[in-house]
Amino acid sequence: MNTSILSARGLTKQYGPTVALAGVDLDILPGESVAIMGASGSGKSTLMHALAGIVTPDTGSIAFSTPTGVVRVDQLDERHRSQLRRESFGFVFQQGLLIPELTAVENVAIALMLGGTPRIAAESSAAAWLAALGLAGMETRRIGELSGGQAQRVAIARAQVTGAPIVFADEPTGALDSRTSADVMGALLHATTGQGRTLVLVTHDETVAARCSRIIRLADGRIIGQPGGVGAPTPAQQFASGQAPVPQQAQQPYPLQQPYPPQQPPYQQQPAGQPFPQQRYPQPAAQPYPPQTYPGQATGVVPNGARP
């Protein structure tokens, strides 16, 4: 029985004469951390982007398991893939891709506001995640006022504030020094797998990859090394049976500042054949000020310096 949260079969992707993926099969289990490694041009970023619904494979299937059914990511149109990425997947990138004009708390809250959560409720959840990641008191700082490690923690908070069951991280420590990289990786693991969520990570750094429960190696668009897999023992299970050393993340736990905020209500899916479902979040009983609109701000995000 396949218990994967994400399952790919026969993925191929070609850009002109360049073969990026050449028939990739991969299963990712709930709660595990998977590092994808390979030389430049090996197809690792393309694989992650396909799994995350950013690009569509030329052939093959990608199945995302939810509590209420399976979503075929490869069959969704662009609108529903965007909705899937917004509501069920979190993302952390090498440079964070944060909005410099917004404060830290606004950068995190925007992930909820795009899904329809009112600003006050969104910023409250965002502030709780920032505090849990050691950024209490920095909510009103702009991104340029934060260190590289602090900015990446803001990105981690943004990836987790919606309660996304899977987080995709593309070289999340690539622009950091070794000490800051270790701290950020610890925060990322504890905010994802430490909360029972799944982490899929692309990295060139063997030290970073070693902290994950499984490493996938690619070359020329094919998987050439994949220890473990569905049904295989995790490093923690191997250690318990005396077969493996303690994983690095177990040796160096990241000290949490506060308990992590509770997850959002679980993702709900409509019956098969219906459009991809819209996720809903609890609405506050009342808002202290009427909704504001600004030129060019259809999403309701307040521009830099503007306050209702």
What six digits make up the tokens of 79?
């609108």
For residue 269, tell me if it sits in a domain: no
Residue 283 has what pLDDT? 41
Residue 213 has what pLDDT? 93
Per the structure, the complete domain to which residue 62 belongs is given by: 6-251
Each residue's pLDDT tens digit in the chain (308 positions)? 558 999 999 999 999 999 999 999 999 999 999 999 999 889 999 999 999 999 999 999 999 998 888 999 999 999 999 989 988 999 988 766 789 999 999 999 999 998 889 999 999 999 999 998 888 999 999 999 998 889 888 998 898 888 899 999 998 888 788 888 888 898 889 889 998 999 999 998 899 999 999 999 999 999 987 654 433 444 444 434 444 333 333 333 334 444 455 544 434 444 444 444 444 434 444 444 444 444 444 444 444 544 44
For residue 54, tell me if it sits in a domain: yes
For residue 130, tell me if it sits in a domain: yes
Rg (CA), the chain: 19
For residue 122, tell me if it sits in a domain: yes
Quote the CA–CA distance of 15 and 50 in Å, as a whole number.
Answer: 14
Phi and psi at residue 242, to the nearest 5°: 80, 15
Residue 177 has what pLDDT? 83
For residue 259, tell me if it sits in a domain: no
Edge-to-edge strand list for the sheet holding 198-202:
89-93, 166-170, 198-202, 33-38, 214-219, 222-225
Residue 226 has what pLDDT? 66
Of 54, 17, 22, which Cα lies nearest the Cα of 38?
22
Residue 261 has what pLDDT? 59
Residue 142 has what pLDDT? 93
pTM recorded for the entire structure? 0.72
- Let me know: does 199 contact 189? Beta carbons within 8 Å: yes
Number of folded domains that form the chain: 1
- Between the CA of residue 1 and those of 4, 67, 230, 231, what are the distances in Å? 9, 16, 9, 9
CATH number of the domain encompassing residue 79:
3.40.50.300
For residue 177, tell me if it sits in a domain: yes
Residue 206 has what pLDDT? 92
For residue 265, tell me if it sits in a domain: no
Going by their DSSP bridges, the two strands 166-170 and 89-93 should be labelled as parallel
Phi and psi at residue 59, to the nearest 5°: -140, 165
Amino acid at 270: Q
Residue 303 has what pLDDT? 45
Phi and psi at residue 104, to the nearest 5°: -60, -45
For residue 271, tell me if it sits in a domain: no
Going by their DSSP bridges, the two strands 69-72 and 59-66 should be labelled as antiparallel
